[in-house]
Chains A and B, each alone.
Chain A
Amino acid sequence: MLNKIGIVLFILFFVVTNAVSFSQPVNGRTISGFVYDQATGEALIGANVFIKEEETGSSTNNSGFFSVPGLPDGEYTMIISYIGYKTESLNISVPQKKEQTLTINLIPEALVTGEVVVTADSVKTIDKLFVKPVSKIELNAKQVNAIPRVIEADLLRALQTLPGITALSDFSSALYVRGGTPDQNLYLIDGTDVYNPEHAFGIFSTFNTSAIKKVEVSKGGFGAEYGGRLSSVLHVTNLDGNRNYFEGTANVSMLSASATLQMPLGKIGSLSGSIRRTYIDQTYAKWIKEVPDYYFYDGNLKAFFDLGERDKLSISYFHGKDVLDFQLDKEKESFSFDYSWGNTTGSINWRHIFNPKLFANIWLTASVFKSDFDFESVNFGEKNSISDYAAKIALEYYLTTKVNFKLGLEQKMLSGYLKQDWEGGRVDVERDRSLSTGYISSNFKPAESLDIEAGLRMQYFSAERNFFNIEPRFSVKYRLTEESNIKLAAGKYHQYLNRIPRLFFASIWTTADEYTNASSSSHYILGYQRALGAVYEFEVEAYYKSYKDLYVFNPNLETEVTPGSFDNGGRPVYNSTKGLLNRGDGESFGLEFILRKDIGALTGWVSYSLSKTNYSFDKLNQTNYFTPRHDRASVVNAVLNLDIKSFLDEIMNRKHYKSSSKWLLGLNFVYATGQPITVPASAYYVNTLPDWNSITAGGMNNPGYNLYPGTINDFRLPAYTRMDISLTYEINYSGWSLAPYLQVFNIGNRKNLWFIDYNEEIKDGIIVQEIDKVNMLPILPSLGVNIKF
């Protein structure tokens, strides 16, 4: 307890000291502005802004805004760089003739074309690495789309190729980050929380990759501006829309068709919209009797308004829905059910520059998930919903080149319901919650080689009982040598939501309440980065995470659940979470290595992660530690993208000529230790009900034996290995491009085990257990075409 108070006091002291020490009038001027893509007018996130003479700088935030305060009067060279864009060099005078917000447009250049020229005014790789927060990975839409996919490009599946992020199976896009579970990831799309971001029973995610501008993934140790989840943050920023000209992309795959259109709205702004729909119901389902009528669609619309030099406004909307109409036998009267689910999100985001040092981001967001299941044949129905309405303000204050502050407030209203109705009872749960959050953090750069950030996040969660938590966050970045950095991060995190994953059905969310505590986790991360030459990045990170009050679904729920009341028909009505979840604690630790190259004819990364997760749950394994199902001890990933002609030119030292067409080869390889699983260890004879008495009857008419499990998760399935390739031919002609592609998922046709199917048979007095291996996806070629105009 004293330790915790000490940490909080230390961080408060750090923040206040920074504020007081630097609250004196600061000599010098502030240069601020926005960095945009010259071709489309899109704000660039994370672009580096460097003042050469002062050897200081900044990077753009999620709105493309930067601020460099404390510049003495004089002439400066400002270098603005961003991966995939030509580095821009500007001569600026301080003071400027009039205070203005700079607008800097960078010219895009293809990632893979041309030689990498490291000039004196380029920002070095190690500097870019230094700016990056601990455990954070950024990907742009091009990188996401370049990774070979399972028929459909998918963001979450692309992220499963990163170190520390693993998948459970080929059929799931869910992310397990550093030993955490999918519900411990915060999914944000344009600042709005997204719940159950899944299509097709989790095979695909709801994020349409055509609409994405930037993806930021923080695998741990994230700053005080993020919270509410224990493991990670995935922040997706969608395209604002092309401000200069009409632009469109279209994709046709074997599963779906999609289109993204962008257009300027006069001089005031831009509009971007995407739509996607699968057509299984109109094709395969009509030809193959066993294929159910199923489809999903999603679409988003985003409008950007440039209200002036100091005000920008974005309005974004997303809606996605899955619809399944199942009938066991389409030609006969047979049981059938209907199931639909989907997300709707919307946000209004106003960015305002109060002065060159003070930037504000204000959001109003709404996120609603709903599902509806109707199984009339067995008199079962379910309605499930969660909604999240939030107002947020985030302030960034750039006091000096050495000190800046972030402050934020957030008020979230959560509500949800679960209603089930069947012959034996009803579930009728309705909940309203509120979460009030405030945070402050300060970034201090006492020297060019040292960067310290400390923050506090305070959360007040209101439910049947209330929770108040203070979360200290701390990170240090230190330039070890000219080519290497060392980083450290630690933080405390709380989560008030728990997800109950269900096979086939959409997940249900519950919250901390009178029966469950807030879950918490502490992160400790140590990282080392090294620039290898001009374009290679090498990183290694070690982490330790502890968990307290984790909750998992109780598979024996029915033995504990009690009704809150009875309906008029005498049926039990369940309306509490008592008995629903098992409580436990745990820990995860590991080491991750990644070698990455983002520039040149060959791009991609190779990574290795070694990890271990231990759980201890109150009602499992006599509270002894055990390994959870999602633990993967060793994971190797290799993602390589190759511009074949440029690459051959490069290795043969041939002169490279720009061409209107190119062949692109993509490769994705993954190796993962097999999943732990609990297998049956023995059998015993006991009748299901007393009168069945089949033990003494013996022989084949003996349903009386049961299987009994062995030690929990003591067995590991065989290792998972898979290689995918893609081959794309891209032709560019007069502003158009056409890119037909061939994707081959699991090209080695490796029979990766999905699950075990046991069949027992009594033969000559022996219960013979035969094991059928149910494999994941086999070799799966798919064709498609991307069109850009």
Chain B
Amino acid sequence: MKKSILMLAASVLFFSACGDPELDITGTTYEPKIVVEGYLYPGEPVTDIRIMRNFKLNTSIDTSTLFIDNAIVTINGEPLQYNNITRSYFNNSILVDYNKSYELKVSAVVDGTQLSTSSVTVVPSQGFNLLTKNLGVNRYGLDTPEIRFNPSPSSDFYALSIIPDSASLSNFIYDNKFQPDIKIEDLIESFINFRFQYAYLLNVSTNSADTISNKIQGYDTWFYSTYRVIIYAGDKNFRDYVITAKRVREFDGNFHEPVMNFSGDGIGIFASAVKDTAYFTIVP
């Protein structure tokens, strides 16, 4: 009897410890949000403020409703108008100034729900100065292009957008030390990720007399080409978005909230920056 009970118990335990459990996350609760993408640059009018909506994964993206064209959008109380061609909001009469604060307010209906949000950006001060715009011709693996600049007194964050003028399978640097065995199909699949590269400098000195330098690393250049590097001296919103928006996914598939500095129902970025451009070439 005792033996049978034990055998039965062991069998039950064994069979419950087999199998491949199902995983279905499609039932996850979705909350509609107002999505903002807007940048202000000193000396330029307010343009290209995109107001969009988020959408559920695995559902058809209705491009006709992705961009919200009937939102009420204001900056410092001044209304913005919608441009059907660029699908963005603008107000040419607002000229962005250094060191000034701008508050964006948006209200819109998404999925039948009235949503509203606001965010404030403070434009960095004057002073950002790129010392050399032409970084020359650099041999891959031997020379390192170096960005050098004087910082803005109110910005300690600099984002570098590094994009080759020409990017194709033929000028890809196959003989690299980071992915030396890359397969052509993987390259094609991730091509866009090799082409668009960015880096950032965090918490640099804000003393305008200082010279900040940063070397462009080998893992930021994947093609033999001429590159253009746009350097953005960003405000806090710029910094928080660039650092956190793409890093919401942890190693084990767990997600955490990014820092976007919106109050209410908004996500995305409303930021300001001072920018300049440098160039360099990578040759074998």
Instruction: Return B80 CB to nearest CB of chain A, in Å.
Output: 17
- A683 and B55 within 8 A (CB): yes
The CA-CA distance from A559 to B36 in the complex, in Å, is 20
Contact with A along B29-60 (1 / 0, CB 8 A): 11101011101000000000010111111111
Interface flags, A19-45, vs B, CB<8A=1, else 0:
000000000000000000000000000
Tell me if A446 counts as interface (CB < 8 A to partner B): no
Interface pick from B98-106, B119-127, B204-212 = B204-212
| CB-CB nearest in chain B for A602 | B6
> Counting CB contacts under 8 A, is A733 at the interface?
no
**Minimum Cβ distance to chain B for residue A781 (Å):** 15
Name the A residues within 8 Å of B87 (CB-CB).
696
Expressed in whole angstroms, the Cα–Cα distance for A671 and B87 within the complex equals 54
- B60 to A684, Cβ gap below 8 A? no
Binding site for A on B (CB under 8 A): 2-3, 10, 13-23, 25, 28-31, 33, 35-37, 39, 50, 52-61, 63, 66, 87, 159, 161, 163, 177-178, 180-181, 192-193, 196, 198, 201-205, 210-215, 217, 219, 230, 232, 239-259, 267-269, 273
* Residue in A closest to B219 when the chains form the complex, CB atoms: A378
Are A717 and B23 in contact (CB-based, < 8 A)?
A: yes
Are A651 and B192 in contact (CB-based, < 8 A)? no
Shortest Cβ distance from A755 into B: residue: B252
Question: CA separation between A334 and B177, bound complex, in Å?
Answer: 4
| A722 smallest CB distance to B (angstroms) | 6
> CB within 8 Å of B: which of A694-739?
694-696, 700-703, 706-712, 714-715, 717-719, 721-723
Q: Counting CB contacts under 8 A, is A3 at the interface?
A: no
State whether the Cβ of A2 lies closer than 8 Å to any Cβ in chain B: no
Nearest A residue to B250 via CB reads A555
Task: Report the separation of the CA atoms of residues A555 and B245 in the bound assembly, to the nearest whole angstrom.
Answer: 12
For the complex, is A288 an interface residue (Cβ under 8 Å from B)? no
Q: Which 3 A-B pairs have the closest CB atoms?
A: A756-B253, A718-B21, A755-B252
Q: Is the CB of B13 within 8 A of A425?
A: no
Enumerate 23 A-B pairs (CB-CB under 8 Å) in ascending A order: A562-B203, A566-B210, A570-B211, A679-B25, A679-B28, A680-B28, A683-B54, A683-B55, A683-B57, A684-B268, A690-B39, A691-B161, A707-B255, A708-B33, A709-B248, A709-B256, A721-B17, A755-B254, A757-B253, A765-B61, A765-B63, A767-B55, A771-B25
How close is A325's CB to chain B, nearest CB, in angstroms? 17
Are A766 and B180 neighbours in the complex by a CB distance under 8 Å? no
A651 engages B57 (CB within 8 Å): no
Interface contact B259-A556, CB-CB below 8 Å: yes
Q: Please indicate the chain A residues that have their CB under 8 angstroms from the CB of B196 in the complex.
A: 688, 692, 694, 703
**Is A629 touching B17 in the complex (CB atoms < 8 A)?**
no
**Which residues in chain A, 732-789, are within 8 Å of chain B measured between CB atoms?**
746-758, 760, 764-769, 771, 773-774
A620 and B18 contacting across the interface, CB-CB below 8 Å: no
Complex CA–CA separation, A669 to B20 (angstroms) = 17
In the complex formed, the residue of B with least CB distance to A701 is B192
The docked-state distance in angstroms from the alpha carbon of A780 to that of B247 is 34
Interface flags for A666-689 (1: CB within 8 Å of B; 0: not) read: 010101000001111111111111
Output the least CB separation between A727 and chain B (Å).
13
Least distance between B233 CB and chain A CB atoms (Å):
13
Residues of chain A at the chain B interface (Cβ within 8 Å): 328-329, 332-335, 377-378, 423-425, 503, 555-556, 558-559, 561-563, 566, 569-572, 574, 620, 629, 638, 648, 651, 667, 669, 671, 677-692, 694-696, 700-703, 706-712, 714-715, 717-719, 721-723, 746-758, 760, 764-769, 771, 773-774
Q: Is the CB of B177 within 8 A of A377?
A: yes
Q: Measured between C-beta atoms, what is the minimum distance from A266 to chain B in Å?
A: 50
If A682-B57, A686-B241 are given as contacts, then 6 extra A-B residue pairs at C-beta distance below 8 Å, sorted by A number, are: A334-B177, A378-B217, A566-B205, A685-B35, A710-B28, A715-B28
Rounded to whole angstroms, the CA-CA distance of A685 and B269 in the bound complex is 11
With A377-B177, A572-B204, A753-B23 as contacts: A708 and B212 at CB distance below 8 Å: no
Measured CB to CB, the closest approach of chain A to B132, in angstroms, equals 16
Q: Are B193 and A703 in contact (CB under 8 A)?
A: yes
Give the residues in chain B near A758, CB-CB below 8 Å. Answer: 249, 253
Whether B251 and A748, one on each chain, are in contact in the complex, defined by CB atoms closer than 8 angstroms, is no
Q: Which residues of B contact A562 (CB under 8 A)?
A: 203
Please report the C-alpha to C-alpha distance between residue A667 and residue B11 in the assembled complex, in whole angstroms.
12
Cβ of B250: which chain A residues have Cβ within 8 Å of it?
A: 555
A424 touches B202 (CB 8 A): yes
Distance of A709 Cα from B29 Cα, bound (Å):
10
Once the chains bind, are A638 and B13 in contact (CB under 8 Å)?
yes
Residues of A within 8 A of B230 (CB): 689, 691
Tell me, rounded to whole Å, the shortest Cβ–Cβ distance linking B277 to chain A: 9
Kindly identify which residue among A335, A715, A721 contacts B25, using a CB–CB cutoff of 8 Å.
Answer: A715
CB-nearest residue of chain A relative to B160?
Answer: A689
Asked whether, in the complex, the Cβ of A750 is within 8 Å of the Cβ of B19, the reply is yes
A328→B179 CA distance, assembly (Å): 8
Given the known inter-chain contacts A570-B205, A572-B204, please indicate yes or no for A767 contacting B14, CB distance below 8 A: no
CA A563 to CA B206, docked complex, whole Å: 12
Give Cα A570 to B131, complex, Å.
16
Complex contact B35–A684 (CB within 8 A): yes
Complex alpha-carbon distance, A710 and B257, angstroms? 9
CB distance from B109 to the nearest CB of A (A): 17
Asked if residues A723 and B257 are in contact (CB atoms below 8 Å), the reply is no
CA distance A721 to B12 in the complex (A): 12
Contact for B232 among A377, A690, A760, A769, CB less than 8 A: A690
Q: Please name all residues of chain B whose beta carbon is closer than 8 Å to the beta carbon of A760 when the two chains form the complex.
A: 57
With A and B bound together, what is the CA distance between A694 and B161 in angstroms? Answer: 13
Cβ contact within 8 Å between A684 and B253: no
Check B256–A700 contact: CB distance below 8 A.
no
B203 pairs with A707, CB closer than 8 A: no
Docked CA distance A576–B61 (Å): 45
Min Cβ gap B5→A in Å is: 10
Assess whether A669 is in contact with B17, with CB atoms less than 8 Å apart: yes
Contact of B14 among A334, A723, A764 (CB under 8 A): A723
Q: How close is A202's CB to chain B, nearest CB, in angstroms? A: 13
Give A682 to B217 CA distance when docked, in angstroms.
33
Nearest Cβ on chain A to B115's Cβ, whole angstroms: 13
| CA gap between A569 and B217 in the complex, in Å | 17
Instruction: For the complex, give the distance between the alpha carbons of A710 and B54 in Å.
Output: 12
| A685 to B241 CA separation, bound complex (whole angstroms) | 13
A706 to chain B: closest CB distance in Å? 5
Asked whether, in the complex, the Cβ of A425 is within 8 Å of the Cβ of B28, the reply is no
Residue of B whose beta carbon sits closest to that of A572: B203
Contacts of A714 on B, CB cut-off 8 Å?
28-29
Return the contact of B22 from the options A687, A718, A721, A757 (Cβ within 8 A): A718
Please determine whether B217 and A423 come into contact, CB atoms closer than 8 angstroms: yes
Residue of A nearest to B63 (CB): A765
Contact status of A768 and B58, CB under 8 A, knowing A679-B255, A717-B23, A723-B13: yes
Contact of A709 (CB < 8 Å), options: B66, B239, B246, B257: B257
CB distance from A343 to the nearest CB of B (A): 25
The answer to whether A561 and B203 touch across the interface, beta carbons within 8 angstroms, is yes
Contact B251 A755, beta carbon cutoff 8 Å: yes
Residue of B nearest to A168 (CB): B252
Give A708 Cβ to nearest chain B Cβ, in Å: 6
Known: A556-B258, A710-B29. A685 touches B52 (CB 8 A): yes
Q: Which residues of A contact B10 (CB under 8 A)?
A: 667
Interface centre among A555, A708, A718, A752 (most CB of B within 10 A): A708
Contacts of B254 in A (CB 8 A): 629, 677-678, 755
Q: A769–B22 contact, CB under 8 A?
A: no
Min CB distance B164 to A, Å, is 13
Look across to chain A and name the residue whose beta carbon is closest to the beta carbon of B195. Answer: A701
Cβ–Cβ contact A682 & B256, under 8 A: no
CA distance A702 to B193 in the complex (A): 10
User: Looking at the complex, which one of B23, B161, B245 makes contact with A718 (CB distance below 8 Å)?
Assistant: B23
How far, in angstroms, from A755 to B3 measured CA to CA in the complex?
39
Q: How far is the CA of A760 from the CA of B55 in the complex (A)?
A: 14
Q: When A562-B203, A710-B28 are in contact, do A682 and B55 touch as well, CB less than 8 Å?
A: yes
What separation, in Å, do the CA atoms of A620 and B16 have in the docked complex? 37
Q: How far is the CA of A377 from the CA of B141 in the complex (A)?
A: 11
Residues on B with beta carbons closer than 8 Å to the beta carbon of A686: 35-37, 50, 52, 241, 245, 268-269
